[in-house]
Amino acid sequence: MGSRIRLGRGLVLLVCGVYFAVPMAASVVFSIDDNKGGTTFRAYTELLNAPGFLDSLSLSLELAAVTVAILLLLLVPALLAARLGAPKLRPVIEVMCSLPLVVPVVALTTGIVGVLRWGPDYLSDTPLFQTIVAIQDPGFPIVLVIAYVLMALPFAYRALDAGLRGVDVVTLVEAARNCGASWPRAVFTVVLPNLRSALLNASVLTVAMVLGEFTTAAILGFQPFSVWISSNGKSDGQMSVAVSILSLLVVWVLLLLMSALGRGRKSART
């Protein structure tokens, strides 16, 4: 029975591997084919040397880092407070964090556009006018961070909530308190280390969402990495495929680094 289960798992993994590997391999071959039986990396070299490549990539990484920080600062204290002091608020927090799922991205972006257009007309004589202008700075559009926090909220919440369900937070805090630790020390030295996997999962999901998000940034007129890829990958077929492969590689490398960092810290502690 056990051998059949292992064989079934192996077949499933093989089918999935072929399903993903064959299109990727075909895309790579097409992107380096010079139509003369040889290979060329012209599409990749031109893409890497294209103006705006590093700027758009750094902007997306900055947006991802700030979005992750804001989400964790919002969700971790709220979820811990609900677990420790107000269990009846847990359904309320769950509903609030799940609301962005019922709002389409286009509808959310349309609402943001409406607010940004309404602001200059009615707030021109108030200090809030400068705030409306500042959050639309192309160098670092804070309005995108606001949108990304809302869009990533359900996924980050689910990851953190799953981690909290596997940890007896109340017992850990009470044990730390009985040993003389203060509330902040109990949280930072006892609870958060046990939530390392949940924090990493929430961060990985958020980073993947931010790096791949296109609709909101394109409608609002900003150019992070996903928008830059779309606008610069239409010149020829090979460059378009190279852009897609490069975007996948960037996301995979970042996620693998984050996962390796989490595993490295865990093994160092053990």
Q: What is the pLDDT of residue 23?
A: 84
Per-residue pLDDT tens over the stretch 55-92: 888 999 899 999 999 999 999 988 888 888 777 888 88
Q: Are 15 and 124 members of one domain?
A: no
CA distance 141 to 219: 13
Q: Are 94 and 176 members of one domain?
A: yes
Q: Are 127 and 3 members of one domain?
A: no
Number of domains in the chain: 2
Q: Are 138 and 202 members of one domain?
A: yes
The radius of gyration of the chain's CA atoms, rounded to the nearest angstrom, is 23
Q: What is the mean pLDDT of residues 112-137?
A: 76
Q: What is the pLDDT of residue 266?
A: 53
- Report residue 121's pLDDT band, with 50, 70 and 90 as the boundaries: low
Contacts of 155 (CB under 8 A, 6+ apart): 202, 205, 206, 209
As a three-state string, the secondary structure of 9-37 is HHHHHHHHHHHHHHHHHHHHHHHHECCCC
119 has a pLDDT exceeding 90: no
Rounded to the nearest 5°, which phi and psi values hold at 39?
-125, 150
269 has a pLDDT exceeding 60: no
Q: Are 112 and 33 members of one domain?
A: no
Q: Which stretch, 126-135, 136-145, 226-235, has highest mean pLDDT?
A: 136-145
Residue 174 lies in a domain: yes
Q: Are 7 and 139 members of one domain?
A: no
Residue 88 lies in a domain: yes
CB 206 within 8 A of CB 152: yes
Residue 45 lies in a domain: no
- Please, is 135 exposed, middle or buried when counting C-beta atoms within 10 Å of its C-beta (0-12, 13-18, 19+)? middle
Q: Are 11 and 92 members of one domain?
A: no
Average pLDDT, the chain: 82
Give the DSSP letter of residue 187.
I
- Report residue 265's pLDDT band, with 50, 70 and 90 as the boundaries: low
Residues forming a β-bridge with 190? none
Q: Which stretch, 60-64, 103-107, 160-164, has highest mean pLDDT?
A: 60-64
187 has a pLDDT exceeding 60: yes
Q: What is the pLDDT of residue 156?
A: 92
Q: What is the pLDDT of residue 5?
A: 74
Q: What is the pLDDT of residue 20?
A: 82
Q: What is the mean pLDDT of residues 217-236?
A: 81
DSSP helix/strand/coil, 198? helix
Q: What is the CATH number of the domain that holds 124?
A: 1.10.3720.10
CA distance 148 to 151: 5
Q: Are 88 and 220 members of one domain?
A: yes
Q: Are 25 and 99 members of one domain?
A: no
Q: Are 26 and 83 members of one domain?
A: no
Q: Are 23 and 121 members of one domain?
A: no
Residue 203 lies in a domain: yes
Lowest mean pLDDT among 163-172, 202-211, 232-241: 232-241
Residue 3 lies in a domain: yes
Q: In b/e form, how buried is each residue of 11-27, taking b as 16+ CB within 10 angstroms?
A: eeeeeeeeeeeeeeeee
Q: Are 83 and 122 members of one domain?
A: yes
Contacts of 194 (CB under 8 A, 6+ apart): 167, 172
CA distance 184 to 76: 13
Per-residue pLDDT tens over the stretch 6-62: 777 888 888 888 888 888 888 888 888 877 777 888 777 877 777 888 888 899 989
195 has a pLDDT exceeding 80: yes
Which residue range is the domain that position 80 belongs to? 53-269
Distances (CA, A) of 111 to 69, 103, 116, 147, 221: 24, 11, 9, 11, 15
Q: What is the mean pLDDT of residues 241-262?
A: 75
Residue 48 lies in a domain: no
267 has a pLDDT exceeding 80: no
